[in-house]
Structure 1
């Protein structure tokens, strides 16, 4: 569920599914089939490629959401 949400957010950042797919190095259909439920099984590879495209570690990409006013490293409010 979090990977689907992360991919949708990345799509917004990259502007389109084809741009995100190119950044991840996978066919667009791989992403869209997963996001829209045609291929419900997640793969570690897809999560790793999404994290690499986003420039963040996988655990941060898939981790619990954090408040925007909190430091992502220590949790301190700023």
Structure 2
């Protein structure tokens, strides 16, 4: 479920499924099948993490609150 969400977010960042597929070294059809709910592989999670410039753990791990530091978890001050 989180890999599918990560792929959808990466698609938005890269602009198209074709571009993301090229970056990941897979076919656009492969990405489409994963996003539609077909089985994936650990290797696909590694490719997605590389495309995102992060680790598999950060890509698929626990959800983080956007108002906190990703490194220490301290809450950021919201200014209005």
TM-score, length-normalised on structure 2? 0.90
Contiguous gaps of at least 5 residues in structure 1: none
List runs of 5+ in structure 2 lacking aligned partners. Answer: none
State how far apart, in whole Å, the 2-side matches of 1:68 and 1:43 are: 28
Structure showing greater radius of gyration is 2
- Secondary structure of the residue aligned to 2:69 is coil
Matches of 1:36 and 1:9 in 2, distance apart? 14
User: TM-score of the superposition, structure 1-length normalised?
Assistant: 0.92
Q: Per-residue deviation at 1:49?
A: 0.2
CA RMSD of aligned residues (A): 0.8
The structural deviation recorded for 1:42 is 1.7
Count, aligned residues: 76
Runs of 4 or more, structure 1, over 3 Å off, are none
Structure 2 residue 45 is matched with structure 1 residue 47: yes
Is residue 20 from structure 1 mapped to residue 28 from structure 2 by the alignment? no
Q: How many angstroms does 1:74 deviate by?
A: 1.1
